[in-house]
Amino acid sequence: MPTVHIKHKGVFDLSEILQGIIGGLEKDSFKVHYPKHKYKVPSPKGGEHEIKIYGERKINEYVKFRIDFFIRVFDFKEVEMLKEGKKVMMNTGRIAVEISGSMTLDFENRFGGNKSLQALQDFYHKHIIHRDIGDVWEDDLMLKIVNLGKLIREKCQQEALT
């Protein structure tokens, strides 16, 4: 599964980006987890954020999708800006978002017993659900990642491309 990288330097709203990611995942029925948020101020240029978010969704009893976000923000500063005549708080700095996805088959480990069960699973994957894996679920997950990437670009206010 290819990884999507989005980078932006300039003005953005970090909380809106995070809300966008969470909203996008929840809209698609993903359960959202927040395993990491690190913040430090290493230099006068601004702070650094390191955030990990992932969403999990059971597609059926056998297949589970996971989409991972790794967000890094450098030279992070809060600035006050005028937007449509109103004062709003925005952020400046550099932001890099990495989106990757994975698909877990047999997440309940039903075929995890002995060798004959594993051989049966092999047969099941290769000959029964082979098309579903490659043409349905993989493509579906890829499209979800692409759409989330577009959403982040919008939230990063990459005006030229959205």
Binding site for another protein (CB under 8 A): 2-11, 94, 134-135, 139, 142-143, 146, 149-150, 153, 156, 158, 160-162
> Alpha helix (H) ranges present in the chain?
14-27, 115-123, 130-131, 138-155
For another protein, the closer of residues 53 and 145 by Cβ is 145
- With respect to another protein, which residue has the nearer C-beta, 41 or 143? 143
What's the closest the beta carbon of residue 46 comes to another protein, in angstroms? 16
User: Over the Cα atoms of the chain, what is R_g?
Assistant: 20
Q: Mention every residue, 6+ apart, whose C-beta is less than 8 A from residue 61.
A: 108
Nearer to another protein, 6 or 53 (CB): 6
Minimum distance of another protein from residue 9's CB (angstroms)? 4
Q: Say if CB 29 and CB 22 are below 8 A apart.
A: no
Minimum gap (Å) between residue 93 Cβ and another protein: 11
The Cα–Cα gap between 86 and 55 comes to: 34
